[in-house]
Amino acid sequence: MEHTGKFPYIQEASRRVYAGMMDAMDQSVGQVFQALSEAGMLDNTVVVFSSDNGGSPFGVHSSRGFNWPLRGAKGSLWEGGTRAAAFVWSPLLARPRRVSTQLMHITDWLPTLYSVAGGNTAALGALDGMDMWQHLSHGLRSPRVELLYNIDPPMSQAAIRYWKYKLVLDSTGAFNQRYAPPRGSRPYRDLHELLARSTAAKVLRDFYKTSSLQLPTGWRRRATLTCGAWKARNFLVNDSVFLFDIVRDPCEMYNVASFHPKIVEFLRKRIHAYQAHAAPSLSKPVDPAGFPEGHNGTWAPHSLCHPCAHYRSFLLLTPQPTRNTAWRLPAVASQAGPANIKEAKE
């Protein structure tokens, strides 16, 4: 009740629990700032708050975390399952207090933090990640132009982004909608007031020797995604090849694959290039032989290894297209150059 009691305006009980968890985590962040300050380490610290995937609104292990207005959820390759917000605080930032929308992958954190700590990233060997520190610190354009989301043959899924275009190959139909969170009344306390009263804010006011922390005007608006109203005709679940201009259409509402076949082919070849040197997947399809009804009400261990077992209950309740268990990318003879990606004008 210490945390959930702060959110009486949230009608759904599980959502109140989720909000309480976020409140507890928020307090822990403040405690970390306070500990760093008391240890005299705050002036040489980089604080990163991020996530590795989107929320899971449904299923056995649902957190009731929604990703609106983005499409999809945890376990999918849509933006709602893969795109996450983050913040970086540090007195070492050359240009602090700004909103950045530059492309970055979770693998970039390792070389980035290693670099800012004084390490030589060349000593790390070949990495998928890139050192982003100078670009984050100075607000420079991201050096990353390509991002592989995943290649998952057992689930018949793959997705990649190159510049502004994202290709999704998905024949499962799982979590392919936009899920709006349950609505409730608005909170009775202003977010700016809560920020000002937080432990982290108190620590930072002392650190900067100021009575008030100034945030850029309109920063919350610039950090908010707006994708327009939902229209069912924008998306057909019986498609299996999707191409999106992810900069203009972050909610993946308009499949433009039929308009840009050369871009689709180029991105297919990029996925194939990655798959050519990828390790074989260890994931296996869920085996009904491992279900509890066949084992005195307990799960057999092998059936728990499948990455999608956690939302199987949701899939059982939702009509899904037939999945091709023998799915694989078509072979290609050559690799197109990046010039093909400029087929569509800005």
pLDDT at residue 336, rounded to an integer: 44
> What is the Cα–Cα distance from 148 to 105, expressed in whole angstroms?
9
pLDDT tens-place string over residues 313-330: 333 333 333 334 344 444
Tokens of 66: 């929604």
pLDDT at residue 235, rounded to an integer: 62
228 in Cβ contact with 253 (< 8 Å): yes
pLDDT at residue 170, rounded to an integer: 81
Question: How do the residues of the chain divide into helix, strand and coil, expressed in percent and rounded to 5?
Answer: 35, 10, 55
pLDDT at residue 267, rounded to an integer: 98
> Looking at this protein, which amino acid is placed at residue 317?
L
Residues of the chain predicted below pLDDT 70: 171-172, 186-189, 228-238, 285, 300-346
Instruction: Read off the pTM.
Output: 0.78
Crossing angle of helices 199-208 and 13-38, rounded to 10° = 30
Rg for the chain, CA atoms, rounded: 22
pLDDT at residue 124, rounded to an integer: 94
pLDDT at residue 230, rounded to an integer: 54
162 in Cβ contact with 145 (< 8 Å): yes
CA–CA distances in Å: residue 165 to residues 50, 137, 183, 343: 24, 26, 33, 11
- DSSP letters along 262-314, please? HHHHHHHHHHHHHHHTSPPP------GGGSGGGTTTS--GGGG-STTGGGHHH
234 in Cβ contact with 211 (< 8 Å): no
* Averaged pLDDT score across all residues of the chain: 82
pLDDT at residue 311, rounded to an integer: 35
> Looking at this protein, which amino acid is placed at residue 281?
S
CA dihedral of residues 310, 227, 160, 72 (deg, nearest 10): 10
Q: What angle do CA 32, 38, 44 make, to 5 degrees?
A: 75
